[in-house]
Structure 1
Amino acid sequence: MPVITCIDDLKRLHKRRTPTMFYDYCESGSWSEQTFRENTSDFDKIRLRPRVAVDMDGRSTATKMIGQDVAMPVALAPVGLTGMQRADGEIKAAKAAEKFGVPFTLSTMSICSIEEVAKHTRKPFWFQLYVMRDQDFLRNVIQRAKDAGVSALVLTLDLQILGQRHKDLKNGLSAPPKLTPRVIADLMTRWRWGLEMLGTKNRGFGNIVGHAKGVEDPTSLFTWTAEQFDPRLDWSKIEAIKNMWGGPLILKGVMEPQDAEMAAKVGCDAIVVSNHGGRQLDGALSSIRVLERIVDAVGDKTEVHFDSGIRSGQDVLKALALGAKGTYIGRAYIHGLGAMGEEGVTRALQVIHNEMDISMALCGRKSVEQVDRDMVLVPQDFAGRWA
């Protein structure tokens, strides 16, 4: 068993053990991938401030996100095709999150369905919604989430139109993969992945196939999806979805103060500062650069959460120091899943927690509530001085 000390250790195993098209789907951004890269590299510009001679006994990373108890302020972000990284991937990730005491967010574009994940877990999870043109599907999937006991709806705002990701196009991304000679050659070197996939019935998009009109197989799914992301999504539709849902609502994909203010007016429980992991608008600023501006814009009107670029517990602390009340990890836990299944997701959470706990202590803080702006050094004009 390899020694795992950081997320990069899991990333290396993930690349070896998962088919190329699905690893690339995880580890890529849109267009030139500038925003994808800067989401992580911009964290390196922020420095932590060490403090000494502070009683560090009895430390705790426990807190709340939208009023729900969490072992640390980290949720598993919604990631499409998670069940292609490892057989039954959403179920395995949800079980690991439940045991660890952090939220799991199931994507609309998951392989395992809402019902399948609910059947294998005991505690409520969160569900991420993409807004589709098909209103019957929209109402149906929201009702299915309610019936499954989902405790929060995460509405993604920044995917009305799909960004172009070169690797996905070149790899011919599909779920399950099309068996071209190139794909077959790749799969032959990932025999463990293949054997596990043969042992599960979950190999298509479980939330859509059989639930959306005219979608009965993967081929019809991709045609349907290309036509269904709703480019007409606006604040009035968001408000209507909020009323339709009737429970805790998180709005994900906010990068500008004006949009943050509008999101707060709608009455959401939290907004997520996120650029979709650099997978939508390339050339945008990294999420960490805009975080403080968003926090300043909404004040205490709603919780501000953070997503895109976190690869360590120190990154979590830096986001909290700049005002976030919670954070999301996507690629970090997917690397664990692709590397070692449920155990790998648990290991990723342990790595993040260990780094967070030790770094928090070395900065003289005993609890998450004590993490503040004074704990970090941020370069002047970090957010940028733009004409």
Structure 2
Amino acid sequence: MGRPVSVEDYRRIAARRLPRAVFDYVEGGAGDERGVARNRAALERILLSPHALADVSSRDLSVPFFDRRLPLPLVIGPTGLSGSVRPGADLMLARAAARAGVPFVLSTASTSSIEEVARASDGEKWFQLYVLNRDLADSLTRRALDAGFHTLVLTVDVAVSGRRERDVRNGFGIPFRMTPGFVAGCAVRPAWSLSQLKHGLPQFGNLVSAQAKDASSQALLMLRQMDASFSWDDLEALRARWPHRLLVKGIMRAEDAERCFACGADGVVISNHGGRQVEDTPAPIDVLASVTAPEGKMMLVDGGFRRGADVVKALALGANGVLLGRAPLYGLAARGEAGVDEVIRIFQAEMDNTLALIGCPRAEDLSRDFLA
């Protein structure tokens, strides 16, 4: 393959570089993966309606976002165990996001710690919270606050883990399980294997740091065994304790979004966890059309975004921005930190091209009038 020019090109390179079990962890979804396919199909089904003879000699991709403008309507979303793709992945993702001027969301299940990421990047950093248990959640939020993370993203769609059959078949876990199949997969991916051996096999950075050495929580996190009793009252309590912006991720109903805003959330992320939890749900882009954010609140969306045109469609449907999950990981697997930069630039170029071709010079002016 020549120089990669699309996110799909990076995905193909990632598939060739990563052992099958690791690529399947990134790529896979729940059950028969109908949810993963539905996310893409829904975006592809939405058509654009170009306006003729508009002055698009210059285009502006920036959008209003809380108390500032984002140069691009993108957020590098939280991805767990990204160090299995490439050592130091969270640090690379954070630095690439900072160069692009967009936020980076660190997962509770990251392979670098909150403190390591805080030191690695001076960009805008958010922390995504899984509530495994209340004491650990309180500890993680205090550490994020102390490290300068000013946005907390509470994920609410993982009361239990989705059944991801690729991972079950491969026996994927942390620490890596050295089954014959996994070892054979590593043997045919020597560059990945040598890099992992050189830097040390991935661990849950937030649970093995000097601030937290908790083997039982590591096991719970690998199995996504969360506190299934966490409820609306607990969200209100978290809102009262957290002094900065709070977003709720994993919302798939308009009434739940309204209730989040009523509880004081500053924003919601319409998300079905990339099709990795409940297989037979609508695509987030289809739910987005039914949700309205009050003045001053933000509405983000994720799920299957691979093209700049996909982002344009989301903004036209009312989103303030899009979280990218798998796409940056493809770049990371293919070409390291430079690959993440390149994937972001692909989204930027495609968004710019799409705005010009549909007759909309400013991303913030997108509306349903640009949809067929």
Is this a same-fold pair by TM over 0.5? Answer: yes
Q: 2:308 is aligned with what amino acid?
A: G
Q: How does 1:58-207 map to 2 (within 5 A)?
A: 58-133=58-133, 135-201=134-200, 203-207=202-206
TM-score with structure 1 setting the length: 0.91
Shift of 1:57: 2.5
Please report the TM-score for the alignment, with normalisation by the length of structure 2: 0.95
- Match for residue 277 of structure 1? 274
| AA at the equivalent of 1:185 | A
Question: Which residue pairs with 1:232 in the alignment?
Answer: 229
Question: Closer, same or farther in 2 for the Cα pair 1:311/1:111, shift >3 Å?
Answer: same
In the other structure, the counterpart of 1:320 is 315
Aligned length: 372
| Structure 2 portions without partners, runs of 5+ | none
Secondary structure of 2:291 counterpart? helix
CA contact 1:84–1:175 (8 Å) conserved in 2: no
* Structure 1 contact 270–302 (Cα < 8 Å) conserved: yes
CA 46–29 in structure 1, closer or farther in 2 if over 3 Å, else same: same
Aligned Cα RMSD in Å?
1.9
Partners of 1:255 and 1:370 in 2: how far apart? Answer: 25
- 1:16 maps onto 2:44 in alignment: no
The one-letter code sitting in structure 2 at the alignment partner of 1:252 is K
Quote how far apart the aligned CAs of 1:300 are.
3.3
User: How much has 1:211 moved relative to structure 2?
Assistant: 6.8
Q: CA deviation at 1:358?
A: 0.6
Q: Determine if contact 1:215/1:221 at 8 Å carries over to the other structure.
A: yes
Q: Do residues 48 (structure 1) and 48 (structure 2) align?
A: yes
Distance in 2 of aligned mates of 1:165 and 1:131: 20
**Comparing 51-60 with 232-241, which one deviates more in the overlay?**
51-60
Partner of 2:254: 257
Contact 1:124–1:149, Cα closer than 8 Å, also in 2: no
1:77-130: CA deviations, max 9, x gaps? 111111111111111111111111111111000111111111211223111001
Range 66-75 or range 92-101, more displaced? 66-75
Would you say the 8 A contact 2:83–2:202 is kept in 1?
A: yes
Gaps of 5+ in 1: 378-387
Residue 381 of structure 1 corresponds to which residue in structure 2?
A: none
1:337 to 316, 332, 343: 332
Separation of aligned partners in 2, 1:151 and 1:5: 34
1:154 and 1:82 map into 2 onto residues whose CA distance is: 18
Deviation of 1:299 (Å)? 4.4
Displacement of 1:214 in angstroms is 6.9
Query: Do the aligned partners of 1:111 and 1:203 also contact (CA within 8 Å) in 2?
Result: yes
